[in-house]
Structure 1
Amino acid sequence: MKLKARIYAGSTLIQRHAITLFSQLRAAALTAFVIGAAAAHAQANNVGQKPYLGWSTFSEQTINGSFLTQANIQAQSDAMKSSGMQDHGFNYINIDSGWMGSFDSNGRPIPNTGTFPDIKALIDHIHANGQKAGIYWIPGIEQPAVDGNYPILGTQYHTQDIVTIPLAQGNAFAGAPPNPYHDKIDFTKPGAQEYINSVVALFASWGVDFIKLDGVAPGSYSDSLSIDDRPDVAAWSKAIAASGRPIWLTISWAIDQDYLGDFRPYQNARRIEDDIECEGRCGTLTDWQRIYQRFRDLPGWQNDASPTQGWNDLDSLDIGDGSLDGLTNDEKRTAISLWAMANAPMYLGGDLTKLDSFGKQLVSNDEMIAVDQSGKPAKQVLGGEQPVWVSSQGNNTYYVALFNLNATPAIIHLPWNLLGVNGALQVRDLWNHQNLGPSVLPFTTVLKGHDVRLLKVVTYGKAAPTSSTSYEAESATLGGSAVIADCAACSGGEKVGGLGLGANNTVTFNNVYVARAGVYLMQVDSMTQGLRSYLYSVNGGPFQTLNSGGGSFFLPASTTIPVRLQKGMNSIQFGSPVSYPPDLDRIVISGNGDAPEPSFRVYEAEVATLSGNASGGFSNYSSGLAKAGNIGGGAGNAVTFSNVTAPSAGTYLLEVDYATSGPRSFFLTINNGTANELDLNGSTFDEPTYIVLRVHLNAGTNTLRFDNATGYAPDLDRIVVAPTVLGDLMGEILH
């Protein structure tokens, strides 16, 4: 069964500092990773040269406990063929956790005959439809197979001969010793490899083409090397080779990036985060926050995917079941565009027998699929809430994706020098199948909230390089618990950890110099496992948010955001008064002061003025990794944003990100005017959702207060203030 609870990245010590002790535990592994990363490995198991396309059972299993049956899987196979998906390359039917019932006379897992009376006949049917069949299993060996002391096929050994003594945890789903249930296999013992060979041989005899090995550690949010499945992954890959059948091997989930060098030779893909499904924590298959999570994670993994390294698996795409998916159509298009730019395996969840017309439209777009199958995963060239991802295809041709991660519409500008070129000879919109013509000036487009523009661009010229200056975190001013730690892969060999969880635990760059005032690009090199966020301040100004994610505290990930600087010296401070920021390696300031600046402003509730019982605290899926709760239930329990600025008086868009389980209400008061009741609803306090309002703001500073004198209000994550697109367009025309 899947692990339901998400464990935040390690112990409190690791969360707060990620420094000396943790460095010592992982130093040898990191060195091996850095060395191994330089070497290319052939794709394992004679498959995986391109990311696969298909479908998996698990999303539907999370909302329908009786779904996993032979009859239902056969129906999904038939639906994949009849829907036309298969004509566009979708051909994997993957059976996830829950198919197994017992063990055969050699201790190998066999199906529950009540739900899968003839698994070989099922797989034969899948093959007859022109498809490939996948199956799920885990590292180690389950206790009933050990207790039975079964003979290992083709050897003189038995299952009790191959387990680690005393019993140890065989995967991340195991219980604590002495009775882990999922027992660790000792691959130094004779018979151990042969046991795995026999399991894979059984799968191969059924016709299996794909294996998902789940609960793999280091990863799956297990602590360091307390569970180590590196020998298991190697053994499974060797067993696949011995079977003589080309079988794709995916390892799952949230694989620890520090050990990717050990895993890489044996796998075709690795899951880089936890499950995308809500699994009962919201009322739908997934939701927007779980898509946004992938945007935060992927920059740290963007250099690890290729036809020789294997692929970054972002998990299922729940995009074909209408409102049950928990995503708007724009969000579905945004999700599949990110998967395509990442060259991620693209497999749907949900029920293919109910595939809706919009989902069918998405998966039948061959121009989008060509992006996913290009074998050249994209790199993020601009981060933040309006990120830009670019994939160079050679011959001056690029795939470009422009995203708007806010719920408010926005005008997006793409200067061509971000691609290192002077302009575009051809621009093609891949979702609308339209040629947009050449573009010399920055490319400009209007995007709805949570929407995307996916382009194929033929460029010309080479942009002149711009100057840049690097500032090391260890040379900056450290406050409170901030501390320098060794980091072999970091610039300068050091980093700063111990940030956040207090207003004084900061790192401040006091000597950031630019020759003229303007908007520059700031590259932030940071490290984290899981989601973390900086709240940073420029020249003592209001907090700004940089939401991050990643798979390592020792391998820096870069993201670049625009930052407005004054002429001469500037100070930029990183921390978080309420929650956990990543560790920080360095910042790099580049440009000439003419970078595009987003027109929206974000205000985090946890650092607004909290009165009465209202309080800020950790929230894993919230912006800033925190939110404000205990709002309402009395007139004084309020969140007040007292520094909301507007360049001129007029109508603005206000995005309110909130969390509630069931109906609750805010009363919103702007500039001491009449309170307006916002009646809201939601399915979870764990993950924010959003509404967008139109509000009138004064020129200069405004005050927005959220409270509820008589009833309980939702928790409040953040607000986003943005111009109306029409007003923004008129301003650009006038100027």
Structure 2
Amino acid sequence: MPVRRAPSLRYLALACGLTALASTATAQVNGVAQRPYLGWSSFSQQTLDPAFLTQANMVKQSDALAASGLQAHGYTYINLDSGWMGGFDANGRPIPDPATFPDIKALIDHIHANGQKAGIYWIPGVEEPAVQGNFPILGSDRHIQDILALPHRAGNAFGGPGESPYHYKIDFSKPGAQAYMDSVVALFASWGVDFIKLDGVTPGSYSDDLSIDNRDDVVAWSRAIAKSGRPMWFTVSWQVDKDYNGIWSTWANARRIDDDVECEGRCATLTNWPRIEKRFRDLPSWQDAAGPAKGWNDLDTLDIADGELDGLTLDEKRSAMTIWAMANAPIYLGGDLTRTDPDGLRIATNDEVLAIDQSGRPATQLLGGDQQVWVSDQGNGRAYVALFNMTGAPATVTLPWHLLGTAGTWRTRDLWTHKELGPSIGQHSVVLPAHGTQLLLVERFPGAIPQGPSKAYEAEAATLGGTAQVFACEGCAGGNKVGGLGLGTNNTVSFNNVVAPRDGVYLMQVDSLTLGLRSYLYRVNDGPYHTFNSGGGSFQLPSSSTLPICLRRGVNRIRFGNDVSYPPDLDRIVIRDGLGVPAPAADVYEAESATLGGTVTAGFSNYFSGLAKAGNIGGGAANGVTFTRVTAPRAGAYQLEIDYATKGPRSLFLTINGRNTQQLDLDGSSFDDPVAKVLVVSLQKGSNTIQLGNPSGFAPDLDRIVVSPRVGAPAPGCP
């Protein structure tokens, strides 16, 4: 739904109570998280091998962490994820499965002997066997059933409906409830645990059911850690709601801001690029929430040291490592440490990159869209600057230095190649491969260049169409936003009076609101659609991204919507001059918005551009997708990126302007995640027609096509 429902009186009272509790706590629980931790987690490998989580294998991982050289670069945590537990003790506390973890204390002693720290996984609430056993609570005269919320209901995001949810909610106003948490954490402390991941935490974890509401659980766990006397890193998970970050940041050391990075059986590898890209989309919403006094944004496991099993190219692995480091996120590897690959290890152990992660100064996004720029200001004129090419074809990424408030740099160092690039005046440009990055340390010229004027346009004051309507919004400019956009051609918001003093490139800041992935399709002056793939952590706190757009002199119209799928809610746009910023070089054409023939259908798909794709393609000449009005500024050769999805081999037939049909034999391991195929094709000046289908066999699903100039060709500029 585009708008969160109104909070109940019970919710407001609980929020006030928890805020009062928060004021008595320190920002970093136990003082263990002044910097993000580095380590390893078992979960990624568990998604490929369910029998992987055993004491014997954890000993091997601990030994491999030390032997691989990772530990010498600061990787010290060995974290056991879900699956270690086998039952409950006489006080209803979780204990290991004796078949897989015969002596967990001995395992943790081994981890400690290797100079490492040990982590463990658990969830809020009480599971069914402990409820049925109604065990006495250690340190209390109460029993398990005495502390349960009534009526019985789910105690976390994994719980079921009704009176028998399997995971039962605890009522922390009842005597014995805090004592139970104290006893669980005391047991973990007796084993020597140094880290606790509390999973299935709500609000968040794709559950906005405030009858669950684990904020009081988080406070209780945090208090139990403090009472135990043992410093333990405390992370809450997964994809928690930013509206309640006052609790997450006060009572925990880190919070997961995304769902699982792993494919978990939906592809043939540990992860893939679309799941990495999701972090780029969600992070702008949270970029103001991290730091030594606020806790850290957890982006989940970084699977970069397992060769082809990671599902990422080397360029994609460097980009992933770069955004984790720029975000100051905890970096914990996945996979099997006994089989790490040398290239992945070199990426994971780049000390210049790790220093960014440990700097305590998380980056902010300077430019969004297909060519992104992120900046971490270190003070005293020093900054880390990361440039990214988010498209599947090589592209030139340009940063005018005035966007950093300077005329240039007297030092520019590439941290991946370890090369000094020298001074840079005016702007910096680099050719990046598909999904590639360049990571710079820059030292700026002294003196600041003031930014030009800007003008804000509130969505609620714009022209609303169809189901679009105004809603109250706590964090929005003016206190309102527009929701109900998308899922229809006419459900739009139009800014009809965007004034530009000249023809050219401008920067458009989009302040949007969503929990998870959503996408706008926007049009400038009835030109072609453009896609802004966004994400976020709240429907009440806006996330900002800045995109280059072309405006003409005088009055312009910018319309936001999404014909097929879900866009975010919209707070406002802010326009300012983009002097020095190049016009967007790539033109994106969404398959779901193209002409669909025969059996072809369009619909929602989470990891796809535009949050939708076209499916049921092929099996007949009429069952294809036709992209009309594919525009080229001049005749010649262009890069054509085709983003598709298939599980197993399928073929597409490509026809451009009715001529020279070409068969593309494609492969993939998932219909959930798009893969890029890049060709060089000839286009005529002006409008072109591109058709994709299969006259006889089944074709892959289609996400989009992207047309861009070949590297070195003249930039297209604004039309």
What is the TM-score normalised by the length of structure 1? 0.95
Partner of 2:699: 713
User: Cα 1:592–1:111, aligned 2, differ >3 Å: closer, same or farther?
Assistant: closer
Selected match of 1:701 from 675, 687, 697:
687
Paired letter, 2:476? C
Partner of 1:472: 458
Paired letter, 1:259? Y
Selected match of 2:141 from 146, 156, 159:
156
Partner of 1:425: 410
Partner of 1:194: 179
Selected match of 1:531 from 507, 512, 517:
517
3-state SS of the aligned residue for 2:695?
strand
3-state SS of the aligned residue for 2:325?
helix
Selected match of 2:110 from 102, 114, 125:
125
3-state SS of the aligned residue for 1:407?
coil
Selected match of 1:288 from 247, 269, 273:
273
Partner of 2:72: 87
Rounded Cα–Cα distance in structure 2 between residues aligned with 1:405 and 1:37? 39
Selected match of 1:437 from 411, 417, 422:
422
User: Cα 1:539–1:712, aligned 2, differ >3 Å: closer, same or farther?
Assistant: same
Partner of 1:485: 471
Selected match of 1:651 from 605, 622, 637:
637
Selected match of 2:657 from 649, 671, 678:
671
Confirm or deny that 1:619 pairs with 2:605: yes
- Asked if the contact 2:642/2:676 (under 8 Å) is kept, the reply is yes
- Asked if the contact 1:318/1:325 (under 8 Å) is kept, the reply is yes
Provide, for residues 136-156 of structure 1, a one-character-per-residue CA deviation record: whole Å limited to 9, x for no partner: 000011111121121211222
- Asked if the contact 1:100/1:110 (under 8 Å) is kept, the reply is yes
Paired letter, 1:372? D
Paired letter, 1:194? A
Paired letter, 1:302? Q
Provide, for residues 498-547 of structure 1, a one-character-per-residue CA deviation record: whole Å limited to 9, x for no partner: 00000000000000001101000000000001100000000000100000
Provide, for residues 560-597 of structure 1, a one-character-per-residue CA deviation record: whole Å limited to 9, x for no partner: 00010000000000001111000000000011554222
Rounded Cα–Cα distance in structure 1 between residues aligned with 2:210 and 2:188? 29
Rounded Cα–Cα distance in structure 2 between residues aligned with 1:516 and 1:22? 46
Partner of 2:263: 278
Paired letter, 2:583? E
Paired letter, 1:161? D
- Asked if the contact 1:665/1:680 (under 8 Å) is kept, the reply is yes
Selected match of 1:51 from 19, 25, 36:
36
- Asked if the contact 2:549/2:584 (under 8 Å) is kept, the reply is no
Aligned alpha-carbon RMSD (Å): 2.0
Confirm or deny that 1:570 pairs with 2:519: no
- Asked if the contact 1:149/1:159 (under 8 Å) is kept, the reply is yes
Rounded Cα–Cα distance in structure 2 between residues aligned with 1:566 and 1:539? 9
Partner of 1:502: 488
Paired letter, 1:501? L
Confirm or deny that 1:170 pairs with 2:170: no
Rounded Cα–Cα distance in structure 2 between residues aligned with 1:716 and 1:226? 40
Paired letter, 2:172? F
Partner of 2:213: 228
- Asked if the contact 1:140/1:170 (under 8 Å) is kept, the reply is yes
Give 1:25 shift: 9.5
Rounded Cα–Cα distance in structure 2 between residues aligned with 1:35 and 1:304? 20
Partner of 2:574: 588
Selected match of 1:690 from 676, 688, 707:
676
3-state SS of the aligned residue for 2:188?
helix
User: Cα 1:31–1:301, aligned 2, differ >3 Å: closer, same or farther?
Assistant: farther
Confirm or deny that 1:323 pairs with 2:299: no
Give 1:37 shift: 11
Rounded Cα–Cα distance in structure 2 between residues aligned with 1:31 and 1:187? 15
Provide, for residues 614-655 of structure 1, a one-character-per-residue CA deviation record: whole Å limited to 9, x for no partner: 121111110000111111111111111111111222111111
Larger mean Cα displacement after TM superposition, 461-470 or 514-523: 461-470
Give 1:726 shift: 3.2
- Asked if the contact 1:422/1:463 (under 8 Å) is kept, the reply is yes
Rounded Cα–Cα distance in structure 2 between residues aligned with 1:476 and 1:25? 35
Partner of 2:505: 519
Partner of 1:373: 358
Larger mean Cα displacement after TM superposition, 690-699 or 346-355: 690-699
- Asked if the contact 2:237/2:256 (under 8 Å) is kept, the reply is yes
User: Cα 1:165–1:449, aligned 2, differ >3 Å: closer, same or farther?
Assistant: same
3-state SS of the aligned residue for 1:660?
strand
Provide, for residues 401-442 of structure 1, a one-character-per-residue CA deviation record: whole Å limited to 9, x for no partner: 000010110111100111122211100101111110011120
Larger mean Cα displacement after TM superposition, 547-556 or 260-269: 260-269
The runs of 5 or more residues in structure 1 that have no matched partner are 1-14
User: Cα 1:27–1:108, aligned 2, differ >3 Å: closer, same or farther?
Assistant: closer
3-state SS of the aligned residue for 1:236?
helix
- Asked if the contact 1:516/1:593 (under 8 Å) is kept, the reply is no
Rounded Cα–Cα distance in structure 2 between residues aligned with 1:506 and 1:31? 37
3-state SS of the aligned residue for 1:371?
helix
Larger mean Cα displacement after TM superposition, 269-278 or 21-30: 21-30
Paired letter, 2:150? I
Selected match of 2:63 from 57, 78, 81:
78
Confirm or deny that 1:203 pairs with 2:188: yes
Aligned length: 716
Rounded Cα–Cα distance in structure 2 between residues aligned with 1:96 and 1:431? 32
Percent identity among equivalent residues? 62
Rounded Cα–Cα distance in structure 2 between residues aligned with 1:304 and 1:36? 20
Rounded Cα–Cα distance in structure 2 between residues aligned with 1:311 and 1:644? 43
Give 1:489 shift: 1.0
User: Cα 1:635–1:616, aligned 2, differ >3 Å: closer, same or farther?
Assistant: same
3-state SS of the aligned residue for 2:216?
helix
3-state SS of the aligned residue for 1:96?
coil
The runs of 5 or more residues in structure 2 that have no matched partner are none
Partner of 2:710: 724
- Asked if the contact 1:34/1:489 (under 8 Å) is kept, the reply is no
Give 1:63 shift: 0.3
Give 1:34 shift: 11
Partner of 1:244: 229
- Asked if the contact 1:33/1:260 (under 8 Å) is kept, the reply is no
3-state SS of the aligned residue for 2:712?
helix
Rounded Cα–Cα distance in structure 2 between residues aligned with 1:46 and 1:186? 28
Matches within 5 A, 1:25-40: none
- Asked if the contact 1:19/1:497 (under 8 Å) is kept, the reply is no
User: Cα 1:140–1:34, aligned 2, differ >3 Å: closer, same or farther?
Assistant: closer
Larger mean Cα displacement after TM superposition, 582-591 or 151-160: 151-160
- Asked if the contact 1:33/1:258 (under 8 Å) is kept, the reply is no
- Asked if the contact 1:30/1:258 (under 8 Å) is kept, the reply is no
Moved over 4 A (4+): 19-41
Give 1:22 shift: 6.8
Rounded Cα–Cα distance in structure 1 between residues aligned with 2:660 and 2:639? 18
3-state SS of the aligned residue for 2:409?
strand
